[in-house]
Amino acid sequence: MSKVVQEVPSVPCGHRPSRQRGQRQRGRNLTASDLPSCFLNIATINVRGLTSDSAVDQLVSELDKCAVDVACVQETLRFEAGTWKWHTGHEVMLGAGSKNGKVGGVGFIIAPHLATKITHCEIFSERIAMLVLELDGGSTIKLLSVYAPTGAYGDDTVEEFYDELENTVNGPPKGTYVICAGDYNAHLGRGESGENFVGPHGTPGRNSRGETLAQFCERTRLSVANTYFQKRLGRRWTYHTPNRQMFHEIDFILTNCLRLFHNVGVIGESRFNIGSDHRLVRATIAIKPKEERKRLAAYHSKRIRYELNEETLKTLAATVDFTGGSGNVHTRYEKVTSAIRTVVKDASQRVKSKPRERLSEVTLQMLATRKELGKTMTPVARIVLNKAIRVRVKNDYREYAARRAREAAEKATSIKRTFISTRLKTTTPECLRKADGTVLRNRKDIEEEIRTFFQDLFSSKIHVEAYSEPSEGENDKPDKEEWRVLESEVMQAIRQMKSGKAPGPDQIRPEHLKCLKEVLARPLADLFTEMLDSGIVPKDWLSSHTILIHKKGARDILANYRPIALLSTMLKVFSRIILNRIRHILNMNTGKEQAGFREGFSTIDQIHVISQLTERCREYRIPLCYLFIDFKKAFDTVEHQAVLNALTAFGVPRRYVEMIRKCNTSCFTDVNLYGNPTRIQIRRGVRQGEVISPMLFSAALEIVMQNAQMPCGINIDGERLQYLMFADDIVLIGSEPSALENSLRILRIAASSIGLEIHPGKTKWMKNSYASDYCLRMEDSVIEEVSSYVYLGQAVTMDNDLTVEISRRRRAGWVTFNKYRDVLTDKRIDAQVRARLFNTHVLPALVYGSETWNTILNEERRLASTQRAMERVMCGITLMHKIPAHEIRSRTGVKDVIENIYDSKKTMGRTRSSFK
């Protein structure tokens, strides 16, 4: 027997709502089978403040329990607006309140399964925000979150608000369906004679603001959905006064598609309670079945995580055949990777996460008490309890993060990864700014701009001739045994992989291979040998997922994001084996001016050369000029053939060159910003995220620098030093600005032959007082002359004055200290653990590059003063306590910053002497 559904709309499907048709249908009880099987739940709630991440997280949790797909929120009272991807997968878009967060603030919270449906989101003011969702079939829902002025505002303000709301409803972008949900601060009551868009059900009584709302509905032809569903009065009110003596219905959902609504109701405080004096209003509209399945899949995937049991994995792996059997490379590769994924899945245990693991037992008990007591509490008791819960929740979230960080510090594991795992949100760009200054807010337009930008970035712009090399004779071809990959090579490559990295298309993690390296060594060695012999690479290696990581600068400029490719883990193992074999060839052919990605070299080498050269030229009054070169997207724009030509010129065996070519030919990547992958063909550039890519780029750039006949340079002990390089960071050195200008012209032409382009706006130059004045140009652009330039993380000046750099180091030290402040100041953690954390994280930021410093007493005192201030914070004391520095040092146990500077100089000297 089917269950009778009591709550039904009083408007026949497909008809415009009217007063005459607004009566409840009689003589027919709709059953569950009559209604669509899937729904979309849209809700509105006045949150009365959403200023902390913990408050947002609790709201997301409560909405999820009530199966809300899209929530319109009002009165966020936030100081700043923002758009974030929450740790649950929800999209959170919140606006700021006016008057420093004291009035209004509206926004949306969207469930994970609808994230890819968002095409546009814009917050117009502290009272109106808009969200557009695109459904299957091309139809769109235009959602408005609304917060109307309260009774304290005059009629003029209210009229201005409704005029703005009407313009937003009728303005672009147009929506197939329009829904305006929010707090209207109006007593609307029931529909009156002549009103076609206010239904017959509502809380009795209408005030002047309700009349204004009714007139607005008539003008815009928006139906008040609340008034078309019959509820008892106890199920209608949405707001109560502080003393709970008065109950009003002032939160409404307006729509032009009432025929889609199957219910509008209020969720009681026993089910949804965030401490607000408003109740949640939820509307249910019909959607397609597959959307519901997608919602349920997203719901469960966020709450079920898997933990790998390494012992079980090793036991199961001993019974599995990883050889891949017979067949070609593609077939064997698919069998091997499938076997790995299967055994990993079988060895993983499903662990259901606790939705409220961040809250303490006391807080959970307080939440339960608030739900149990409900209406029986006095107004004062309710206010006190709500405030206490807010404070407890905020403290619990802070304590949870501190506890996780404390555990990581005590176990000497990565605190950075712990911070990432405990964060609640990640910032996503609300809009993008095109090169012509046009601001894009529609997500479809943003995705199209991403596609256009990266298609242009990864498209080959020039033709590079292949390097001609005598062909191998039949007798000169090496035997297969020469290419055979050894088991030891596979195990070494797997050991060299970093753990904790995101998997690529094969969904295999480095941890899986490390656990299985003994049983996989022989099968992978045979498979890789077959690839080298046949010259065939798996199709899986040609695809990747690209994530965009913000570097610095404005978040709405696409050029400020670095594309990182998530590649197949098996490809990384193979690339590591190839790199280990050819590394010595690349190093032998790379000049000593290049210090990037080379064993035995670091940024300190280049900084030291710059420091010594500057000091000697100042001492002997020699003219000196530096030109700091900046390339546009260097790693992403170098031509593939230029890389292959460089490898061939260096003498890398043809078989390896051919395999590198095939791994980078016909590649494509899926760029994903809002959940909708955009496929891009890659026809140039080295993929950032592949272990061999930096060495490939360095090889191509090395050929350019060797072939460029630049006139700049300074003679040092019979050798001419023209430039220094660290990967793509190049500094040209000369005594005359005119020589630097000519060298820049030659380098620009040479670099353009392999696809590289110099950025004139970011390229800078400087000179000492003994060099002549000059206006340095590159074509029609003037290169800016600067007095200080940050090169490889250290400020370079022509007088070697450390004042600027010491100030930068002190700021960097405090930034790092504040990042780990909760752990460093937690006295529950052993002092030795905190000292180790300080020495390994804060101290390096404070003394970076100190191996090249020639400090004076005053500069050392400034650094020591900074360290003492940090130690006082660690101990929880101030200068007012007048505790001697040596006593504080005995408590903290950290290493002295000045001793660290002198020790690092000694270590650097010994290392360089032994290396030479």
Torsions phi, psi of 183, nearest 5? -95, 110
In tens, the pLDDT along 86-138 reads: 988 899 999 999 888 788 999 999 999 888 889 889 999 999 999 999 887 67
* DSSP states of 803-843: HHHHHHHHHHHHHHHHHTHHHHT-TTS-HHHHHHHIIIIIH
Q: What is the pLDDT of residue 32?
A: 38
Q: What is the pLDDT of residue 194?
A: 78
Cβ–Cβ < 8 Å for 53, 424: yes
Residue in this structure with the two tokens 């804060």, named with its chain if needed: 842
User: Does position 302 have pLDDT exceeding 70, yes or no?
Assistant: no
Q: What is the pLDDT of residue 124?
A: 92
Mean pLDDT of 847-868: 93
User: Does position 4 have pLDDT exceeding 90, yes or no?
Assistant: no
Give the bridge partners for 71, in sequence order: 43, 109
Mean pLDDT of 426-432: 84
Mean pLDDT of 303-307: 66
Range 34-295: architecture per CATH: 4-Layer Sandwich (3.60)
Q: What is the pLDDT of residue 836?
A: 92
In terms of average pLDDT, the best of 25-34, 404-413, 599-608 is 599-608
Higher per-residue confidence, 26 vs 746:
746
Nearest to residue 646, comparing CAs of 753, 499, 772?
A: 753
Q: What is the pLDDT of residue 676?
A: 78
Alpha-carbon gap, residue 895 to 249, rounded angstroms:
64
* Segment holding 348, helix H or strand E: strand 348-352
Q: What is the pLDDT of residue 37?
A: 45
Alpha-carbon gap, residue 193 to 196, rounded angstroms:
8
In tens, the pLDDT along 710-752 reads: 999 999 888 899 999 999 999 999 999 999 999 999 999 999 9
Mean pLDDT in the chain?
86
Tokens of 381: 């008791």
User: Does position 446 have pLDDT exceeding 80, yes or no?
Assistant: yes
Q: How confident is the model at residue 260 (pLDDT cuts 50, 70, 90)?
A: confident
* Segment holding 341, helix H or strand E: helix 329-346
Q: How many CB atoms lie within 10 A of CB 55?
A: 19
- Give domain limits for the chain: 34-295, 480-797, 803-915
Q: Cα–Cα–Cα angle for 443, 445, 448, nearest 5°?
A: 110
Cβ–Cβ < 8 Å for 541, 334: no
Of 23-27, 490-494, 508-512, 652-656, least confident by mean pLDDT is 23-27
Separation of first and last alpha carbons in the chain: 89
User: Does position 369 have pLDDT exceeding 50, yes or no?
Assistant: yes
Mean pLDDT of 387-415: 85
Quick one: what percent of the chain has pLDDT higher than 70?
91
Of 8-22, 34-48, 423-437, least confident by mean pLDDT is 8-22
User: Does position 66 have pLDDT exceeding 70, yes or no?
Assistant: yes
Q: What is the pLDDT of residue 294?
A: 53
Q: pTM score, two decimals?
A: 0.77
Instruction: Label each residue of 589-621 as H, E or C.
Output: HCCCCECCCCCCCCHHHHHHHHHHHHHHHHHCC
Alpha-carbon gap, residue 459 to 173, rounded angstroms:
33
Nearest to residue 633, comparing CAs of 430, 865, 458?
A: 458
Alpha-carbon gap, residue 415 to 418, rounded angstroms:
5
Give the bridge partners for 198, in sequence order: 224
Q: How confident is the model at residue 279 (pLDDT cuts 50, 70, 90)?
A: very high
User: Does position 910 have pLDDT exceeding 80, yes or no?
Assistant: no
Q: How confident is the model at residue 301 (pLDDT cuts 50, 70, 90)?
A: low
In tens, the pLDDT along 803-816 reads: 999 999 999 999 99
Q: What is the pLDDT of residue 324?
A: 74
Q: How confident is the model at residue 478 (pLDDT cuts 50, 70, 90)?
A: low
User: Does position 9 have pLDDT exceeding 90, yes or no?
Assistant: no
In tens, the pLDDT along 579-591 reads: 999 999 999 999 9
Query: What single DSSP character describes residue 325?
Result: -
Query: What single DSSP character describes residue 12?
Result: -
In tens, the pLDDT along 665-718 reads: 889 999 887 777 889 999 999 998 889 999 999 999 999 999 998 999 999 888
In tens, the pLDDT along 155-205 reads: 899 999 999 999 999 888 888 889 999 999 999 988 888 788 899 988 888
Tokens of 622: 């020699």
Do you find a cis peptide bond into 505, omega within 30 degrees of 0?
A: no
User: Does position 470 have pLDDT exceeding 80, yes or no?
Assistant: no
Burial 648-670 (b: 16+ CB within 10 A, else e): bbbebbebbbebbbebbeebebb
Query: What single DSSP character describes residue 50?
Result: -
Q: Cα–Cα–Cα angle for 895, 897, 899, nearest 5°?
A: 80
Cβ–Cβ < 8 Å for 724, 733: yes
